[in-house]
Each structure stands twice: as C-alpha cells, then as structure tokens.
C-alpha cells in the first residue's frame, strides 16, 4: 500500500510548474492507477515521489509523508526502495545503462548481488512472461525505440518488485509498440502487481485502469473509476486538456483545396549498400504543393529514409525532385528543404534565439535580417524569448525556434518527424496550428507521425509507405480516411 | 547523504560521462591533426580543446578522487590501444595531481580549477613519454635492433629538452583551455541551464 | 572511435578470458622495450597476428602481415642503401612505427573486437577492481556509441542548415563551426546522463553489496595453452636467437 499524506513538493529551482500541493492519496496493492493531466500538472513529480527519486535524487522542498507499506520512503536509500518499486521512464534512449540487452535486463539483480543461478532463473522468467526471447543478447543500440522500452520494462520486472511506476512510457513509441507496452502492463496486472502510470495518451490504458486520477496545477482535481472515465464526453476531455480516448475514429478537420501546383518525384532510390535492398524506391510520384502531407506506415517501412532523401541528407540517394519547373538533385534539395527532427535539441546551435534565425539567413543586410527575424519570431509567439539560450526553452518553444529557422532560410519544403511525441492535448493543438500557419505561407509540409489526433487535425493529404514504396497517396477524402482507419486498426492489433 | 566524502553512484556516473566526453574530444582532435607535422602543436591544441568538456566536468566535482579516476580511465584506454605502461602511469599521475590541487585549494574556485586542469594536462605527456623515460638502455636497444641510422634520426628528433618543452606547452595549453572552457560555460552551458 | 563490442558475432570455440588478453597486452607492450633480435620481434608480432586469425579478423591480420613484412624487409636493406636525408627520416620513422608499435596497436584491435563490454567489466570485478573504476568504465562504454549517434544527428542538422565548410558564414567565423558541433553534443550528453543516472539509481546502482555478474568469464584450457605457447616462443627467441 502506498500512502501520500498531505504531500507538497517544489523543485530546487523554485518553479511552480511541476510542483505538488497537499496531495492526499492511498493506492492499494494490486491496483492500476492512471494519472493524467496537462504538462506541468505534477504527475511526473508524483511518480518520482513514489519511486524515491524525490528526495533522493531530485532536490527540493518536501513536506508531508510518503509511505510504502507504512514506512516512510525518505528514510530508506534508493537501492532499497528500488527493490520494491520498479521504474520505467519516458525516453527509451536515455534510460539504459549497459550496451547489451541481457546485461541490461539483469542489471538490477546484479546490483543486488544475487547469485548467478537465481539471476539466470529470473532472466528466464522475465524473458518468458514479457515475450522477449528474440531480444536477448543483442546490442541495445541496434534496437528500435519500442524494443528498448520493452527491455526497460524487463529490467524493472527482473527485480521482482511489487509496484511498477511508469512515467509517460508511451511518449516515444509508435502505435504497435504501444500495443506491446499494453501487454506488458496487462501481464503485471495478471500477477497482481500495483501499477502506477503517468500518461498523456489515454486510449491504450484507460480501458484497463482501476482508477484514473486527473491532476491540475499540482493538485488532484478529480478521480474517476474506469467506467466513469470511459463515459466522459470527448468535448469534456478536450476541455480538461486530455487526449482523446478513441483517437483513431475522428473526422478530418481540414478539407483539401483544389490545387494546381505540384511537385514531382522521379526515381527516388536509396539503399544502405550499393545495389543492396532498396530502403526507398519511388519511381514516379506527383504530390500537391502547399499541402500538409501525412506520411504513414509501419515501423521500418522507410518513412524516415524517404524524408532524408527528400532533404538530400544521404549523399548516396538517387533521383530528382521537380519543383516549380526545376529538377533538383540531392544537393540542391538541401537548399529548399528542412526537417524538424524528433529530438529538436540536435538542431539548435547558437547562444540566443535571435542568432539562431540569423544563422539561417544569408547575412547580406544585417539590419534587414534582424527585422525579418523578429517578425518571424513574433509570428511564432517567441518575441519575449529573443535573448534566451535556445536550450533553456521548453520542448515546444525549441520546436518553434527550429521552425523559425526554416522559415528564415526561405525553405519551401518542411518535414516534421514526430512533432507531437509526448505532448498533451493543448501542445498538440499548438503544433497543429503552427503547421496550418506554415501551410498558409504556401509551404509544402510533410508530416511523419503516429499521432492520429494530429493527422485528423491538420493533414490534407496522405501517403502510405510500405517496404520503401508508396502504396497509395490521396487527398484526405472519405476513402483516405477509410484506408487510414484500416491501417490504425492493423497497427493496434 | 550529501556531506559524505565517499563517491556516490551519481558521482561515478558523472566521472564516466565526462571522461567519455573528454576522451572522445581528445581522440577526434588527434585524428583531425593526424599529419606528423602537426604533432608538436597537438601538445597545445589538446589541452585547449579538452578544456571545454573538462570545465563542464569541474562544475560537478566536489569530492576527492573523481579526477584521479578519469586519469586512470584515460590511462587504461591508452594502455589498451597500445601506449604501454607509461601512458597509463602518466594519465594516472596527472589525474592524481589535479585532484590534490583541488583538495588543497578548494572546490568550485575558478583559479584553483584553472591550476588543477593545467596539472591534469601534464599527464598527457604519458603518451609519448616512453621515448625519453626509458633511459639509455632503451636507446642502446634501439641502436642494436633498429640500426644506428634509425636511432640517430629518432634521437635528433626527440632531444631530451623537448620533454620539458612538452610539459610547458601542456601547462600553458591547460591554462588557455581552462579559460576557453570557462568562456563556453558562461556563453552556453550556464545559460542553457545545465550547470 | 574504437570501442568494445556490445555483442560479439563471430564467436568461435576458441576464446580467452579478458584477463589473459590484458596479460598478453602487457607482454606485447613491455616487449617493445626489449627488442633485441629479429626473431624475437617476429615472435612478438605473431601473438596478435594469430589471435586476430582466431577472431576471424582476416582483413586486419593481412594488412598487419604485409606491413610488418615490408618493415622487416626495409630494415634489412636500410644499412646497405643510402636514401636521401628526408626520405630516410620518413622511412626510418615508419619502419620503427610498424615494427615497434604496431604489434601493440593490433593487439588492441583484437581485444576491442573480441571482448564485450560486460565481459570486460566482469573480468575487472574478478580482479577485485572496485566500483570506483567499473562504474565509470561501463558508463564510458555506453556513452561512446551514444555520442556517435548524437554527433551524426547534429552533423545532419548542420548540413540541412548549410552550416558547413566553405560557405560564406563559415569564412566569417570558422571557429564557430567547431562550437556548433561540440556544444549541442555536450548539452545532449549531459541531459542523457541525468536521465541515465536516475534510471540506474532506481535499479540499485548504489547498493553497497558486492555486485555479481551474469556474464561468464573464466580461465579455460585455451588460456593456459595460449600463454604457454606465447611464453615459450618469446623466451626461446629472446635468449637463443636462431639468427
């Protein structure tokens, strides 16, 4: 049993976001509890209280008591708490410690000093119950995000704790990996473990949670049973700032307009080895200009490789893109296209936001450039951040700075790679508004995403990639929606 | 738990991260200037460039031992890729010396940090040092095994005063590197909120 | 950058304990100072050469074989042919490098390709080396590939924004290019490190109990045979040179 008695917490930095105010809560053994709420509502902070990272790792001002089976957690060192509470975190790339999967799974057991025979037994049990036989003895760096997250779950499982705490575990996962994650959680439920999840995406977990707790500004705002929560009106959910419970069957909100201009792709071809198996193979494709084109397809179907071809990032990629009558090879495509990466941290270089935009301009006339940069930043609601370091901004702001630099350099094609991973409803909405704003500036946008809500919100065209080929592409009409839903239902199994 | 002098898991992870960062930077710089002509200049380039990750590292150091471990790890690395015992010893001594400077001078003080880092850089000398430190027997060996021509050429390229010049270059480079690192700290890392 | 493997794919029946590899490395590295006869040099060079073959690193082995043979050849003729001064210096340096330092470098290539990171950590643990070394070393093994991944992503981003060699912006401030490449890398590594520490600590990294390891290392007959053969060859060639 986990009890929180009048718990308040503020991080060392003193920010009010993510802090907690007077939380009173009891979680019984074997319960599955889902915490939801907008970013900054404190749900991640709550998970850190339960797995002991607060106060043992993250410093701050803590009042009240956090009890696990009647014992106060702050009196026990992290390694003891860790034997009773297993943790899985948001980013599969950052939470592993070893370089191979088997060592990673038994990492916790090794630290406990378990004898090798016991460890091997646990390894076998965990591998079996989470169905990861195929992942043993592999390099973690060669795994997909979904597979890494499974290993993270397995590593927590091998310690055999009674409680599992998951902090936004689906943030970086695609739809089929989320399905696998659901199965892992179901497995823990069947073993009568206590499962605590903080999450934005609700559709996969709400049907299995015993309680759903809605938080707002550091307080518990409301508590629902599963039945009550599933009954909630979609409009009500939006008002609460929550993601849809059934994001797959929405209606497209943007209708495609009649569009004369087009861009033409000729003989796109890319493979890792010379004459190897093609990762991208598109002999001929005509797409409308000035639309938001959603790219969908399975994991490893070639979506990212297609995007890299389009940007001219891979020197060995062949083929041309015809735009406004010019045939552009890979090198020339780099002048007109830009990709906003999933991890936007990689593409911000300078010491302040304004410089970041100036870096993308030609520098012929500095004063003029400055004025234009400021205009662009104002359009992205960043006027008050001009002098801040880009890396000190929030995720969404960083993304907007990256968009700003693309606009500043006059790129015509902008590609977004999973721009809404890990975002709550309000931030997702913000992203889609920015996308639409760019469309109105006559930019052609490509959108690689697993976020159905975002697709329905803003895409006007869809293309489906499988084995490096375009299986179909069409504007967002009824048939496209039917095909999209077919794809989703296959993905979520 | 904060006031203990024992290195915690978090400290040790930091040691690993910053050692990795510094070694990678060290290695990349070594590759960029692979031309033999540049080799003498490396003694000043290395400490300057490595100053950036190391100054970031120094912001996390509040206990004795972290720099020594970094030295040992650097040494193991160079030992493993074939620089021999002196490579290991040099890096270890450089780390130990810089740790002692910090211990005596005090942690998180700018001037002490600069001095400590300059001392750390002296350890880089471990890599080429076997040419000088091995002594006469070594040269005799070279003479007999490699021929007089080789030995004389090598000896003319590596007069023993070069060693002192090497140390001086490393030390000066270390001071410059610390200043550069400090500038980057102010320019980027502090403003980015990661210090 | 060279880095220990996560998983070794080409594993044959022959395998050495990492401690034996370290010992042989020590032997090869020390032998650098002891070179006396050509036969001894050949014996030293044969150690990494044979080991490379056992680990199926044929390409490295062949390159090493060719270079070393060429080195021996040049050394044999260098006193009978007078080169031009500068050429001579270069030849002498290169030959010296190949004959004297390459065996150790190649040994390093073998160790790195044949040993997994967890084997290395386990072996160090067996040698009673404390967590003060093993933890930073594991973190190092984990971060080097991470830095490669991050660095590749940053390089792409720079190319996409045309921040690169030769552009007008570049000539205005060439040093900025290095700054743009390294600073974001360091920032993201620090952030990854924070997440990683939290995740590792919740799984008991700080537990003072003596750690166990699932990875199997241990001496086998192969270690004994290898050390005996290598030792005999070195001693014989050192003391009783046939040439």
Examine residue B22 and state whether it is found in any structural domain, yes or no. yes
Arithmetic mean of pLDDT, B171-191: 94
Structural domains of chain B, count: 1
CATH code at position A67:
3.40.50.300
Q: What is the reported pLDDT for B37?
A: 62
Q: Where is A423: in which H helix or E strand?
A: none
What integer best gives the mean pLDDT of chain A? Answer: 92
Chain B residues touching C183 at Cβ < 8 A: 52, 184, 188
Give rounded-to-5 percent helix, strand, coil for chain A: 40, 25, 35
Q: What percent of chain A has pLDDT over 90?
A: 74
Q: What is the reported pLDDT for A15?
A: 82
- As a whole number of angstroms, the distance between CA C154 and CA C220 comes to 45
Of A445, A404, A449, A383, whose CA–CA distance to A422 is shortest?
Answer: A449
Query: Which domain range does residue A329 map to?
Result: 262-492
Chain C residues touching A335 at Cβ < 8 A: 162
What integer best gives the mean pLDDT of chain C? Answer: 85
Of A228-237, C88-97, C150-159, C170-179, minimum mean pLDDT range? C88-97
Q: What percent of chain B has pLDDT over 90?
A: 52
Across the interface, whether the CB atoms of B72 and C133 are under 8 A apart is answered: yes
- Does A164 have pLDDT greater than 90? yes
Give rounded-to-5 percent helix, strand, coil for chain B: 80, 0, 20
- Measure A298 CA to nearest chain B CA, in Å: 35
Chain A residues touching B10 at Cβ < 8 A: 57
- Does B172 have pLDDT greater than 50? yes
Q: What is the reported pLDDT for B139?
A: 62
| Residues A341 and A486 placed together within one structural domain of the fold | yes
| Residues A190 and A236 placed together within one structural domain of the fold | yes
Of A10, A231, B11, B90, whose CA–CA distance to C131 is shortest?
Answer: B11
Structural domains of chain A, count: 2
Examine residue B53 and state whether it is found in any structural domain, yes or no. yes
Chain B residues touching A388 at Cβ < 8 A: 191
In this structure, how many other beta carbons lie within 10 angstroms of the beta carbon of residue A228?
12
- As a whole number of angstroms, the distance between CA B138 and CA A447 comes to 66
A158, A126 in Cβ contact below 8 A?
Answer: yes
Examine residue A120 and state whether it is found in any structural domain, yes or no. yes
- Band of the pLDDT at B180, cuts 50, 70, 90? very high
Domain boundary among A245, A273, A292: A245
Query: Which chains form contacts with chain B, at 3 or more CB pairs under 8 Å?
Result: A, C
Arithmetic mean of pLDDT, A80-95: 95
Give rounded-to-5 percent helix, strand, coil for chain C: 70, 0, 30
- Does C152 have pLDDT greater than 70? yes
pTM equals 0.90
pLDDT digits (tens, 9 = 90+) for C32-42: 666 567 888 88
Residue in B closest to A391 by C-alpha: B192
pLDDT digits (tens, 9 = 90+) for A299-353: 888 899 999 999 988 877 888 999 888 899 888 898 899 999 999 999 999 999 9
Across the interface, whether the CB atoms of B1 and A56 are under 8 A apart is answered: yes
Examine residue B170 and state whether it is found in any structural domain, yes or no. yes
Chain B residues touching A389 at Cβ < 8 A: 188, 191-193
Across the interface, whether the CB atoms of B10 and A56 are under 8 A apart is answered: no
Across the interface, whether the CB atoms of A111 and C204 are under 8 A apart is answered: yes
- Does B154 have pLDDT greater than 70? no
- Does A5 have pLDDT greater than 80? yes
Buried b (16+ CB within 10 A) or exposed e, C2-16: ebbbbbbeeeeeebb
- As a whole number of angstroms, the distance between CA A316 and CA A318 comes to 6
Q: What is the reported pLDDT for B135?
A: 52
Of B75, B62, B130, B121, whose CA–CA distance to B97 is shortest?
Answer: B121
Chain B (79-98) residues lying within 8 Å, Cβ to Cβ, of chain C: 79-85
| Residues A170 and A296 placed together within one structural domain of the fold | no
Across the interface, whether the CB atoms of A97 and C184 are under 8 A apart is answered: no
- Band of the pLDDT at C243, cuts 50, 70, 90? low
DSSP label at residue A139: B
The highest-confidence range among A15-19, C39-43, C47-51, by mean pLDDT, is C47-51
Query: Which domain range does residue B126 map to?
Result: 9-189
pLDDT digits (tens, 9 = 90+) for C49-98: 999 999 888 999 999 999 999 888 887 776 666 666 667 666 766 777 77
- Band of the pLDDT at B2, cuts 50, 70, 90? very low
| Residues A448 and A358 placed together within one structural domain of the fold | yes
What integer best gives the mean pLDDT of chain B? Answer: 83
Q: What percent of chain C has pLDDT over 70?
A: 86
Q: What is the reported pLDDT for B162?
A: 75
Examine residue B36 and state whether it is found in any structural domain, yes or no. yes
Examine residue B4 and state whether it is found in any structural domain, yes or no. no
Examine residue B125 and state whether it is found in any structural domain, yes or no. yes
Q: What is the reported pLDDT for B33?
A: 57
Q: What is the reported pLDDT for A323?
A: 87
- As a whole number of angstroms, the distance between CA A23 and CA A50 comes to 12
Is B186 near chain A, with CB under 8 Å? no
Examine residue A254 and state whether it is found in any structural domain, yes or no. no
Across the interface, whether the CB atoms of B10 and A351 are under 8 A apart is answered: no
- Does C108 have pLDDT greater than 90? no
- Band of the pLDDT at C28, cuts 50, 70, 90? confident
Task: For chain C, give every domain's residue range.
Answer: 18-116+219-239, 130-202
Q: What is the reported pLDDT for C98?
A: 79
Residues across chain B? 195
- Band of the pLDDT at B1, cuts 50, 70, 90? very low
Examine residue B156 and state whether it is found in any structural domain, yes or no. yes
- Does A150 have pLDDT greater than 70? yes
- Band of the pLDDT at B158, cuts 50, 70, 90? low
Arithmetic mean of pLDDT, A37-59: 94
A227, A50 in Cβ contact below 8 A?
Answer: no
B47, B170 in Cβ contact below 8 A?
Answer: yes
Across the interface, whether the CB atoms of C137 and B73 are under 8 A apart is answered: yes
Examine residue B2 and state whether it is found in any structural domain, yes or no. no
- Band of the pLDDT at B174, cuts 50, 70, 90? very high
């Amino acid at each position: 049993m986990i009890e929180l008695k009048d718990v308040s917490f503020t991080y060392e930095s003193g920010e009010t976001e993510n802090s907690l105010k007077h939380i009173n809560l009891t979680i019984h053994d074997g319960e599955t509890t889902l915490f939801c709420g907008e970013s900054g509502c404190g749900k991640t902070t709550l998970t850190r209280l339960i797995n002991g990272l607060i106060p043992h790792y993250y410093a701050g001002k803590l009042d009240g008591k956090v009890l696990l089976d009647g014992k106060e957690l702050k009196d026990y060192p992290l390694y003891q708490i860790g034997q009773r509470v297993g943790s899985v975190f948001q980013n599969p790339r950052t939470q592993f410690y070893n370089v191979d999967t088997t060592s990673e799974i038994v990492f916790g057991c090794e630290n406990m000093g378990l004898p090798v025979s016991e460890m091997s037994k646990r390894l076998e049990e965990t591998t079996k119950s989470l169905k990861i036989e195929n992942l043993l003895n592999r390099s973690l760096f060669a795994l997909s995000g979904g597979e890494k997250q499974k290993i993270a779950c397995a590593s927590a499982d091998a310690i055999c704790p009674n409680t599992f705490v998951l902090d936004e575990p689906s943030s970086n996962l695609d739809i089929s990996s989320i399905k696998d994650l659901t199965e892992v959680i179901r497995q823990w439920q069947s073993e009568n473990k206590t499962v605590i999840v903080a999450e934005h995406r609700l559709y996969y977990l709400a049907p299995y949670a015993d309680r759903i707790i809605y938080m707002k500004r550091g307080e518990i705002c409301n508590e629902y049973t599963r039945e009550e929560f599933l009954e909630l009106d979609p409009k009500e959910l939006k008002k609460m700032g929550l993601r849809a419970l059934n994001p797959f069957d929405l209606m497209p909100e943007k209708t495609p307009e009649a569009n004369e201009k087009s861009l033409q792709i000729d003989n796109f071809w890319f493979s890792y080895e010379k004459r190897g198996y093609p990762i991208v193979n598109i002999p001929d494709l005509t797409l409308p200009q000035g639309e938001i084109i959603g790219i969908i397809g399975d994991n490893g179907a070639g979506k990212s490789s297609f995007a890299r071809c389009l940007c001219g990032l891979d020197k060995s990629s062949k083929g041309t893109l015809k735009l406004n009558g010019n045939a552009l090879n890979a090198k020339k495509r780099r002048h007109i296209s830009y990709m906003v990466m999933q991890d936007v941290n990689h593409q911000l270089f300078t010491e302040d936001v304004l410089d970041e935009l100036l870096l993308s301009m030609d520098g012929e006339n500095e004063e003029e450039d400055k004025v234009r940069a400021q205009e662009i930043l104002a359009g992205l609601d960043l006027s008050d951040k001009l002098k801040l370091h880009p890396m000190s901004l929030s995720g969404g702001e960083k993304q907007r700075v990256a968009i700003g630099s693309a606009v500043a350099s006059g790129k015509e094609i902008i590609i977004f790679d999973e721009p809404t991973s890990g975002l709550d409803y309000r931030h997702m909405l913000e992203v889609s508004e920015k996308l639409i704003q760019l469309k109105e500036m006559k930019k052609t946008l490509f959108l690689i995403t697993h976020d159905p809500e975002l697709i329905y919100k803003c895409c006007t065209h869809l293309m489906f990639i499988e084995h490096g080929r375009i299986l179909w592409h069409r504007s967002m009409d009824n048939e496209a929606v039917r095909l999209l839903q077919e794809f989703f239902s296959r993905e979520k199994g | 738990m904060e006031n203990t002098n024992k290195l915690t898991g978090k400290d040790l992870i930091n040691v690993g991260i910053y050692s990795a960062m510094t070694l990678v930077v060290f290695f990349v710089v070594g590759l960029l200037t692979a031309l033999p002509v540049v080799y003498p200049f490396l003694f000043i380039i290395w400490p300057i460039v490595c100053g950036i990750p190391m100054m970031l590292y120094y912001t996390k150091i509040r206990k004795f031992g972290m720099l020594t471990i970094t030295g040992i790890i650097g040494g193991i690395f160079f030992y493993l890729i074939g620089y021999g015992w002196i490579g290991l010893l040099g890096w270890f001594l450089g780390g130990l010396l810089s740790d002692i400077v910090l211990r005596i001078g005090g942690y998180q003080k700018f001037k002490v940090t600069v001095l400590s880092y300059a001392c750390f850089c002296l350890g880089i000398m471990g890599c080429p040092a076997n040419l000088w430190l091995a002594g006469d027997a070594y040269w005799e060996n070279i003479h007999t095994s490699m021929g007089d021509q080789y030995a004389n050429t090598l000896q003319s390229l590596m007069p023993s005063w070069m060693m002192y010049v090497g140390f001086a270059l490393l030390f000066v480079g270390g001071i410059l590197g610390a200043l550069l690192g400090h500038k980057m700290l102010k320019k980027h890392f502090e403003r980015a909120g990661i210090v | 950058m060279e880095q220990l493997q996560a998983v070794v794919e080409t594993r044959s029946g022959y395998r050495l304990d990492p401690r034996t590899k370290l010992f042989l490395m020590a032997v090869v590295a020390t032998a650098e100072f002891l070179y006396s006869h050509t036969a001894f040099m050949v014996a030293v060079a044969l150690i990494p050469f044979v080991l490379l073959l056992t680990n199926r690193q044929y390409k490295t082995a062949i390159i090493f074989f060719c270079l070393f043979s060429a080195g021996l050849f040049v050394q044999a003729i260098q006193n009978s042919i007078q080169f031009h001064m500068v050429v001579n210096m270069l030849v002498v340096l290169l030959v010296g490098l190949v004959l004297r330092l390459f065996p150790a470098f190649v040994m390093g290539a073998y160790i790195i390709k044949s040993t997994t990171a967890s084997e290395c950590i386990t072996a160090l643990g067996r040698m009673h080396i404390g967590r003060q070394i093993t933890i930073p070393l594991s973190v190092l093994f984990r971060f080097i590939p991470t830095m490669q991944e991050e660095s590749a992503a940053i390089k792409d981003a720079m190319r996409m924004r045309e921040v690169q060699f030769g552009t007008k912006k570049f000539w205005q401030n060439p040093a900025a290019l290095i700054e743009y490449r390294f600073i974001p890398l360091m920032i993201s590594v620090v952030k990854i490190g924070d997440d990683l520490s939290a995740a590792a600590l919740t799984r008991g990294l700080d537990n003072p109990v003596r750690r166990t390891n699932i990875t199997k290392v241990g001496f086998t007959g192969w270690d004994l045979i290898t050390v005996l053969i290598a030792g005999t060859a070195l001693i014989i060639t050192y003391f009783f040179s046939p040439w």
